[in-house]
Amino acid sequence: MERTSSEPILSIQDLNVKIGSSHILKNFNLQLFKKEIHALVGESGSGKSTFANTVLGLPNEEASVSWEKFSIFSENIPSGDFSLWKNWRGKRISLIPQTAAIGLHPFLSVGSQILEYFSIIQPEFANEETCIRLLKEFGLSDPAAAWKARPHQLSGGERQRILILLSVYSGAELILADEPTSALDPNTGKAILELLRTRVKDMGAGLLFISHDLSSARDLADTITVMRSGEKLETLRNQGGSWEPHLEYSRKLFTLDENPA
């Protein structure tokens, strides 16, 4: 795994999230470095989305959130204080949602939405010529037509490529991808994940990849953290294309992925 700096983008120790007396996350730890793709995997209800929302500074309003350490962009955050996130979301932290329906307005042209986004986030990209060049770079077969189209006139894969484009070129140092290809067919999803991997590394960002699809995580990630019932079981490193889980639960997950029913 390539690390250009020993300073992590994100470093969390003993994160706890409770609703009432129920722990959603318990004593959770994670580090994410520049140019690293770190996947969170686990069954439904394991706490993956709760963790992602916490990193976005958008915890459940009913939740009690605390931590021993929460450092992001070298800024140490007091326990439970989410006031700084308003300066980071959309600029230093970017989200690629599960479906393009969440990220694109259905009644506005794609071009107008891209221009509006870049005019706020990255004004140097806020012109039609540059944006059409980026659409071509991201694999849109007819970028000029896509520019004028409404989202429903594009395929799901094309819409998701646009969301990835916006996220990667936002200048964000930390990108969260929450099941970004679950609504796509396998071939399209694989191509989009490869595009995401290449662009994240090129731009020097860190990517937190949230998925229940272990196969995608294995192909994409440098690091995988296995979760169960709100706790971290273990963190694995890519060993030349292979993974070596130590715990029985993790081994079963990887075995099931290698030998699907």
Domain harbouring 91, CATH code: 3.40.50.300
Residue 74 forms part of a structural domain:
yes
Residue 2 forms part of a structural domain:
no
Predicted TM-score of the model (pTM): 0.90
Residue 169 forms part of a structural domain:
yes
Q: What is the extent of the structural domain holding 230?
A: 10-258
Residue 165 forms part of a structural domain:
yes
Decide if pLDDT at 190 tops 80: yes
Residue 4 forms part of a structural domain:
no
Domain total for the chain?
1
Residue 1 forms part of a structural domain:
no
- Which range, 1-5, 59-63, 68-72, 256-260, is most confident? 68-72
Q: What is the pLDDT of residue 255?
A: 82
Q: What is the pLDDT of residue 178?
A: 87
Q: What is the pLDDT of residue 179?
A: 85
Residue 5 forms part of a structural domain:
no
Decide if pLDDT at 40 tops 70: yes
Residue 259 binned pLDDT confidence (cut-offs 50, 70, 90) = low
Residue 4 binned pLDDT confidence (cut-offs 50, 70, 90) = very low
Share of the chain above pLDDT 90, in %: 69
- Which range, 2-6, 132-136, 159-163, is most confident? 132-136
Residue 133 forms part of a structural domain:
yes
Helix (H) or strand (E) holding 202: helix 186-203
Q: Calculate mean pLDDT across residues 195-213.
A: 90
